[in-house]
Structure 1
Amino acid sequence: MRLFRSVFLALFIIISSSPVAYAENTPPPDVRGEGAFLIDVSSGQTLFVKNPDKQLAPASTTKIMTGLLAIENGNFDDMVTVSKTMLNNKVVYGTQIYLEPGEQILFKDLLYATLLNSANDAAVTLAEYVGKDMSHFVEMMNQRASEIGATNTHFVNPSGLTETGHLTTAHDLALIAREAYQNPIFAEFVRTKTQPISRSKADVPVLMVNENKLLWRDSSVDGIKTGYTAAAQNCLVASATKEGRQLIGVILKSPGREIYTDMQNMFDYGFTQFSNTIIKPAGAVISSITVNTEPVDLVLDQPIYSTQKLNAPENTLNLRVTPLSTDPLTSVEEGQVLGQVAVLEGETQIDVFPLKAAKSVHPEPVKASLAGSVSSFSTWIIGTLLLSGTIFFLNSLYKKRRKTLYWRRQVRRSRRRDGL
């Protein structure tokens, strides 16, 4: 059987979208926090920045990563036993639901306490449950941040309490929040306003209330997380959705309550001054491969968007296609992920999408033909042996017959000589 190596398009595909015209331009918002970032969730493109790569303390916005890892690795039906770490006031202090060692609480209730009430003791308990110990969980946090592309982030604890080296950036936090919000369970939790939890003790907090004030005052806001420490000052990561577009904003180290007004101004700027265009729809063929002489299209299972600013020069994105493996392929299944397409804005990668096989290709059945060959060979062998045996038998019979006739002739000749 001949094997054919898959061939992938590894070139850049330049995509342009037409600028969208609006009646007027609005200037960028005046954000008083030291770092800010506004991102379009669908396209991954940046709409507004202020000191995007300046490392700052994230406070309890850290719990976005804690919650995401807990959801990805935890079991919602598990009953978690609280550890003696709750007695360590260097690890657990500030906002709490006052967990005690030996107390048992549902995993999902710990998650509500962490993401809504911002309870530090709940975050530490989740970390110990998922990571087996807190230091290993912190390693998981940093590894996940690296996978997301948050390369200027370094976590030291799961709660966001002030510690040396516990830092992120507005840009990194936007990437982490975008990744987390695309998990539907996470999204459901962070847009919940209130949630009662079950406790075995009396006189302890049981109603978890979301501390994101924008969630209560703006119907377009649907998450995500607040934070505050004396060192970090006011921090806010928020999501808002209007007319099918979702934006995520980040503000770090804001001096006061104006952080909510600044976030709303950022959202207004993003929704009124930008528009999305689908540049490649779901099902679009991006590249192709050849398997056993058959062409197989590689398609998207979700659309690729471009975000365009009003009255701005034409926006250009690059698509770069790469294979997951360069090994020869002899078969593929429909829907199998065979490559990926990266979306780049200049030299910056803003998103990656899987490319899936549009159809199945299987190698020709070899077992049946092999069995047929073996059967034919066996038949030939048997036939040959039978034929050889028959020939041997006939040859022996022929020789015996000749010998008999020979002796009969000799007897007749002898009788004639003797006059008999």
Structure 2
Amino acid sequence: MKITAALIVAIFIFLNNVPPAYALASSAPPEIHGTGAYLIDVQSGQTLYSKNGDLQLQPASTTKIMTGLLAIENGKLDDVVTLSSTLLNYQIVYGTRIYLEPGEQMTLRNLLYALMLNSANDAAVGIAEYIGGDLPHFVSMMNEKAKSLGLKDTTFKNPSGLTDNGHVTTAHDLARIAQAAYANATFRDYIQTQRYTIPRSKPNVPTEMINENKLLGKDSYINGMKTGYTAAAQNCLVASASKDGRDLIGVILQSPGREIYTDMENLLDYGFTQFQTTEFKPSGSALSQLQIGKEQVNMLLEKPILTTHKLGEANTEPILKINSTSANLTQVNKGQVIGNVEVWDENEKLMDIPLVADRTISPTPVNQGLFKTSKWGSYLFLLGILFFLLFLREKSGRANRRLRQARLKNEGSRIRESNNPDIS
């Protein structure tokens, strides 16, 4: 009896001291206090969690994800930007700032540190004017980029995320914007930087840029993205994380307080522990063929197609839509992009993957083409040459015979003349 009691106590102590790493995570989605939330797997593009994912909400400074991406895509980091007098317009520039002044010069590289780490609104305006020429044009670029990503519920009104009538997005759309930005290596370098010092000539101005993302450095697997806050938008957070070869992006909008950080950790843990990503089509798979002249080339996947499904549930196959380049191609090199495959999950396109040629096909020379048309065509061609040579030979023989006859005739005339001498 004592042994049994001791065994029960030992088991109880063991279970209560099991390290968290071995504890079984709940399969149920976590409670999210924010009004809107979304979670995606970056590699497959699939949605793992949604709470009011298509509800339009204000994004606050998470807007700067789009601003930073456009700056990196359209500018050169070492370019020197001269700040304009727009910085004095306090209806446009207020809130978090590093107190840039008109005429002050700073590289685009350092303005991006101020934008992505310190969330400086004056840096956002300076970047927008430099990249777009003026604020309206840059805002148009933001909206065009959103459309190119297939987003229908996002409208930007400014580059900083300050409250502006009609400046809205959704948790879903913001996750897709973050996914596009995360694909850019330079952007990833910025969002995972915790601290950076920018040089400035004027004294007593901010130079130490400190990342506002409180999860960065706290959780080893969280590698960046962006925070945001306004009175209207409340607390907003986009976070990216990488673990065991998988990358996730989470979005929480309109959260009432600092529980947004705990909610995000729980959301990301849910994605990592309750979902599995598998290979649907490996890299190099032939998805279709393209006609090049009279030959066909296989269209190969440049990278694998992956799918993500919840543990214990059936894996759903994505829909593939293959697009090829012009059918008028006459040559192609091995590895050349000759099309793409769109990966769809129901009504949403998740990604485009390039398709490349599996071999080189060169234009067929004209003289080879005559012989390669068909076996009988080649025989007819050779037969024609033979008849032509026989014709030339026969024509030459007739000419030689006429020449001999003419010579014989002339010689006979000379003999007759010699037998009949001229008497005069």
**Is the TM value for this pair above 0.5?**
yes
What is the identity, as a one-letter code, of the residue corresponding to 2:318? N
Residue 80 of structure 2 is matched in structure 1 by 79
User: TM-score normalized by structure 1?
Assistant: 0.83
Structure 1: how far apart are the matches of 2:407 and 2:167? 106
Higher relative contact order (CA 8 A, sep 6+): 1
CA contact (8 A) 2:291 2:327 kept: no
What is the identity, as a one-letter code, of the residue corresponding to 1:248? I
Structure 2: how far apart are the matches of 1:170 and 1:215? 21
Structure 1: how far apart are the matches of 2:271 and 2:244? 12
Residue 257 of structure 2 is matched in structure 1 by 256
Cα distance change on mapping 1:294 and 1:217 into 2, 3 Å: same
Structure 1: how far apart are the matches of 2:97 and 2:217? 22
Per-residue displacement from partner, 1:261-289 (whole Å, max 9, x unpaired)? 11111112111111111122222222233
Query: How far is 1:399 from its partner?
Result: 6.3
Structure 2: how far apart are the matches of 1:396 and 1:295? 59
User: TM-score normalized by structure 2?
Assistant: 0.82
Per-residue displacement from partner, 1:227-268 (whole Å, max 9, x unpaired)? 111111111001111212111110111111111111111112
Residue 321 of structure 1 is matched in structure 2 by 321
Cα distance change on mapping 1:80 and 1:271 into 2, 3 Å: same
Residue 111 of structure 1 is matched in structure 2 by 112
Structure 2's unaligned 5+ residue stretches are: 1-22, 371-390
What is the identity, as a one-letter code, of the residue corresponding to 2:335? G
Cα distance change on mapping 1:267 and 1:358 into 2, 3 Å: same
Structure 2: how far apart are the matches of 1:241 and 1:96? 31
What is the identity, as a one-letter code, of the residue corresponding to 2:307? S
Residue 220 of structure 2 is matched in structure 1 by 219
Find the residue that maps to 2:217 and give its secondary structure.
Answer: helix
What is the identity, as a one-letter code, of the residue corresponding to 2:316? T
Query: How far is 1:406 from its partner?
Result: 4.6
Find the residue that maps to 1:215 and give its secondary structure.
Answer: coil
Query: How far is 1:334 from its partner?
Result: 1.3
Residue 354 of structure 2 is matched in structure 1 by 354
Per-residue displacement from partner, 1:190-220 (whole Å, max 9, x unpaired)? 0100011111221111111000011132111
CA contact (8 A) 2:80 2:105 kept: yes
Structure 2: how far apart are the matches of 1:297 and 1:325? 13
Structure 2: how far apart are the matches of 1:303 and 1:327? 25
Q: Output aligned runs, 1:159-174, within 5 Å.
A: 159-174=160-175
Q: Output aligned runs, 1:134-149, within 5 Å.
A: 134-149=135-150
CA contact (8 A) 2:34 2:255 kept: yes
CA contact (8 A) 2:98 2:205 kept: yes
Find the residue that maps to 1:214 and give its secondary structure.
Answer: coil
Query: How far is 1:368 from its partner?
Result: 9.0
Cα distance change on mapping 1:42 and 1:369 into 2, 3 Å: closer
Query: How far is 1:45 from its partner?
Result: 0.9
Q: Output aligned runs, 1:11-410, within 5 Å.
A: 25-312=26-313, 314-366=314-366, 406=413, 409=416
CA contact (8 A) 2:335 2:358 kept: yes
What is the identity, as a one-letter code, of the residue corresponding to 1:38? L
Query: How far is 1:32 from its partner?
Result: 1.2
Structure 2: how far apart are the matches of 1:393 and 1:128? 91
Find the residue that maps to 2:318 and give its secondary structure.
Answer: strand
Identity %: 52
Cα distance change on mapping 1:200 and 1:366 into 2, 3 Å: farther
Structure 1: how far apart are the matches of 2:369 and 2:339? 33
What is the identity, as a one-letter code, of the residue corresponding to 1:188? D
Query: How far is 1:156 from its partner?
Result: 1.1
Structure 2: how far apart are the matches of 1:24 and 1:113? 38
What is the identity, as a one-letter code, of the residue corresponding to 1:141? M
Structure 1's unaligned 5+ residue stretches are: 1-21, 371-383
Cα distance change on mapping 1:196 and 1:366 into 2, 3 Å: farther
Structure 2: how far apart are the matches of 1:23 and 1:206? 45
Cα distance change on mapping 1:329 and 1:404 into 2, 3 Å: same
CA contact (8 A) 2:191 2:226 kept: yes
Structure 2: how far apart are the matches of 1:187 and 1:40? 16
Query: How far is 1:410 from its partner?
Result: 5.9
Deviates more, 1:22-31 or 1:208-217: 22-31
Per-residue displacement from partner, 1:125-170 (whole Å, max 9, x unpaired)? 1111111122111111111111112221111111111111111000
Cα distance change on mapping 1:291 and 1:324 into 2, 3 Å: closer
